[in-house]
């Protein structure tokens, strides 16, 4: 099949690459000419394991193309994916201006019937808004061309997005009541047949339910994270160890071990934005989503946890000190720093007059882009280099190569033997046996909770 994808960001590029890998022909359209040119040269704008070779091989094979020409993209395929960003407005609501702009572009250039697919994360009712926008543009040019608007949300995890796309848990397809349901179902069965061979993963439903499913999934996962962070804070107060608690509740099959790891807060492009957007949608219809408000409030509070540990240990005397920071991205296997806890920590340290020596396997360039050159930030070439002369080590991201460090080296390089661990990577007793003071999330009074 021929497919066009508008918006070659994280979701759009991964989806396009995977569709081309299974034999579909994909035309990628973006307004960013520099990005399109780099993609043509094989330069991938994001770090995602497995994505670069996928894009390069399919570009060379001619199954994936890149262009800024919207008309070319519209006329390339009958199936048009909208995968542009939906950034939050000041009030937290999702901004649909880019989605509706693409819808208008498709209507302006279309010369045959189209299936328009909302791949972007959008509020409930967006498929209807997109359909109304397209119909208005078609009416304005006296066109009677037919079209359908379908909600097909993504469920990708940064760091494993290619694998998630190749082996999806489920494929949700939301169809509007007045659209040709049978034709749409057959179209999507054909499109996703390569990913649907072992058992039927496609779930057909109405468009509004599909739109809500995306938000509900991310809000549920965000809730699990905030719940565990709340339990971790209680554990510190009562002298319990949250890691033991996690094992105790995770072994219950009704709960499971996924997303119950306490830490210094979630970040990224999905959880913060989606919790806020669903909260705003609820408020607009007159419902107060108290649980969602609590999830967001707990997460925001948790991002200050590492600074609180540091401030407590140094008795408020932080000015002039230097802190080694391991991990800048909001999670491992990505260079994404959107809403990352590391940013809250660094900005708090700078405001208190401290300096940061930071290392991350992938997010150094992104850190430089966000903060530029500043005297109180040194980006170091290795995790060991970040330790030299620092007053303490702080861990923000659970990268694999941080999990088995040389504790003797850490103690030797630091001015004071202190580790503040935002991801609970180590056994407290082992760290303490090395003569290092260890602060971790929810690990009881004996390791720095009180």
243 and 382 share one domain? yes
Question: What pLDDT, on a 0 to 100 scale, did the predictor assign at position 450?
Answer: 44
Contact residues for 350 (Cβ-Cβ < 8 A; gap 6+) = 356, 374, 376, 377
Residue 207 pLDDT > 80, yes or no?
Answer: yes
In a domain, 414, yes or no: yes
The residue from 215, 246, 277 where one domain ends is 215
User: Which pLDDT tens digit goes with each residue over 48-102?
Assistant: 999 999 999 999 999 999 999 999 999 999 999 999 999 888 778 889 999 999 9
In a domain, 225, yes or no: no
In a domain, 227, yes or no: no
57 and 157 share one domain? yes
User: Which pLDDT tens digit goes with each residue over 246-302?
Assistant: 999 999 999 999 999 999 999 998 999 999 999 999 999 999 999 999 999 999 999
The residue from 170, 200, 215 where one domain ends is 215
Question: What pLDDT, on a 0 to 100 scale, did the predictor assign at position 449?
Answer: 42
Residue 448 pLDDT > 60, yes or no?
Answer: no
Residue 419 pLDDT > 90, yes or no?
Answer: yes
Average pLDDT over residues 117-131: 95
Q: Facing residues of 150 across strands?
A: 117, 175
131 and 207 share one domain? yes
In a domain, 142, yes or no: yes
Residue 447 pLDDT > 80, yes or no?
Answer: no
Cα-trace Rg, the chain? 24
User: Pick the catalytic residue: 27, 28, 264, 270?
Assistant: 270
In a domain, 230, yes or no: no
Output the average pLDDT for the chain.
Answer: 95
- On whether the CB atoms of residues 325 and 345 are closer than 8 A, the answer is yes
12 and 108 share one domain? yes
Average pLDDT over residues 207-223: 97
Phi/psi of residue 390, nearest 5 degrees: -80, 155
| Predicted structure pTM score | 0.91
- On whether the CB atoms of residues 377 and 324 are closer than 8 A, the answer is no
Q: How far is CA 293 from CA 211, 218, 270, 313, in A?
A: 20, 14, 16, 31
From the list 98, 95, 215, the residue with the least C-alpha distance to 151 is 215
Residue 83 lies in domain: 2-215
Comparing 74-78, 178-182, 361-365, 385-389, the range with the smallest average pLDDT is 178-182
256 and 208 share one domain? no
Question: What pLDDT, on a 0 to 100 scale, did the predictor assign at position 90?
Answer: 74
242 and 145 share one domain? no
Q: How many domains does the chain have?
A: 2
Average pLDDT over residues 316-334: 97
CATH of the domain at 30: 3.40.50.720
The C-alpha atoms of residue 105 and residue 71 are separated, in whole angstroms, by 8
Residue 178 pLDDT > 90, yes or no?
Answer: no
199 and 295 share one domain? no
Residue 357 pLDDT > 90, yes or no?
Answer: yes
From the list 113, 95, 145, the residue with the least C-alpha distance to 280 is 95
Which pair of structure tokens corresponds to residue 314?
A: 């140094």
97 and 135 share one domain? yes
The C-alpha atoms of residue 30 and residue 17 are separated, in whole angstroms, by 15
289 and 347 share one domain? yes
In a domain, 322, yes or no: yes
The C-alpha atoms of residue 392 and residue 384 are separated, in whole angstroms, by 13
340 and 414 share one domain? yes
- On whether the CB atoms of residues 83 and 91 are closer than 8 A, the answer is no
Residue 171 pLDDT > 60, yes or no?
Answer: yes
Question: What pLDDT, on a 0 to 100 scale, did the predictor assign at position 446?
Answer: 43
In a domain, 228, yes or no: no
Residue 175 pLDDT > 80, yes or no?
Answer: yes
Q: Note if 270 is an active site residue.
A: yes
Question: What pLDDT, on a 0 to 100 scale, did the predictor assign at position 92?
Answer: 83
Which pair of structure tokens corresponds to residue 320?
A: 């002039």
- Say if strands 377-379 and 437-440 run parallel, antiparallel, or are unpaired: unpaired
164 and 294 share one domain? no
Question: What pLDDT, on a 0 to 100 scale, did the predictor assign at position 269?
Answer: 84
Question: What pLDDT, on a 0 to 100 scale, did the predictor assign at position 445?
Answer: 54
163 and 245 share one domain? no
Average pLDDT over residues 97-123: 96
In a domain, 150, yes or no: yes
The residue from 167, 184, 215 where one domain ends is 215
């Amino acid at each position: 099949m021929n497919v066009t994808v508008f918006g070659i960001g994280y979701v759009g590029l991964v989806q396009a690459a995977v569709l081309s890998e299974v034999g579909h022909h994909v035309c990628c359209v973006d307004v960013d000419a520099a990005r399109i040119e780099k993609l043509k040269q094989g330069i991938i704008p994001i770090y995602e394991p497995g994505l670069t070779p996928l894009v390069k091989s399919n570009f060379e094979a001619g199954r994936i193309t890149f262009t800024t020409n919207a008309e070319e993209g519209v006329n390339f395929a009958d199936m048009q994916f909208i995968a542009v960003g939906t950034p939050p407005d000041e009030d937290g609501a999702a901004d649909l201006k880019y989605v509706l702009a693409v819808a208008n572009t498709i209507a302006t250039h279309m010369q045959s019937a189209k299936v328009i697919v909302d791949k972007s994360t959008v509020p409930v009712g967006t498929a209807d808004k997109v359909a109304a926008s397209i119909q208005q543009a078609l009416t304005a040019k006296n066109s009677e061309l037919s079209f359908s608007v379908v909600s097909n949300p993504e469920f990708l995890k940064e760091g494993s997005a290619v694998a998630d796309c190749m082996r999806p848990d489920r494929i949700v397809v939301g169809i509007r009541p007045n659209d040709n349901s049978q034709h749409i179902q057959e179209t999507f069965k054909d499109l996703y047949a390569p990913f649907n061979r072992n058992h039927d993963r496609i779930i057909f439903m109405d468009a509004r339910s599909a739109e809500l499913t995306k938000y509900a999934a991310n809000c549920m996962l965000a809730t699990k994270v905030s719940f565990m962070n709340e339990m971790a804070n209680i554990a510190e107060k009562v002298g319990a160890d949250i890691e033991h608690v996690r094992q105790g509740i995770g072994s219950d099959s009704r709960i499971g071990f996924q997303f119950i790891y306490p830490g210094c807060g979630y970040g990224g492009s999905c959880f913060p934005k989606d919790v806020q957007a669903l909260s705003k949608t609820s408020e607009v219809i007159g419902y107060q989503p108290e649980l969602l408000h609590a999830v967001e409030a707990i997460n925001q509070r948790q991002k200050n946890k590492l600074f609180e540990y540091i401030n407590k240990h140094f008795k408020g005397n932080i000015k002039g000190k230097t802190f080694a920071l391991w991990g800048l991205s909001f999670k491992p296997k990505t260079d994404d720093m959107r809403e990352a806890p590391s940013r809250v920590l660094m900005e708090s340290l700078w405001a208190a007059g401290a300096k940061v020596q930071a290392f991350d396997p992938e997010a150094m360039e992104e850190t430089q882009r966000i903060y530029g050159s500043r005297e109180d930030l040194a980006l170091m070439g290795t995790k060991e280099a970040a330790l030299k002369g620092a007053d303490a080590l702080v861990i923000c991201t659970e990268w694999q190569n941080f999990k088995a460090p040389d504790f003797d080296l850490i103690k030797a390089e630091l001015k004071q033997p202190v580790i503040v661990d935002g991801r609970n990577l180590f056994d407290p007793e082992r760290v303490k046996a090395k003569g290092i003071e260890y602060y971790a999330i929810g690990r009881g009074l004996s390791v720095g909770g009180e």
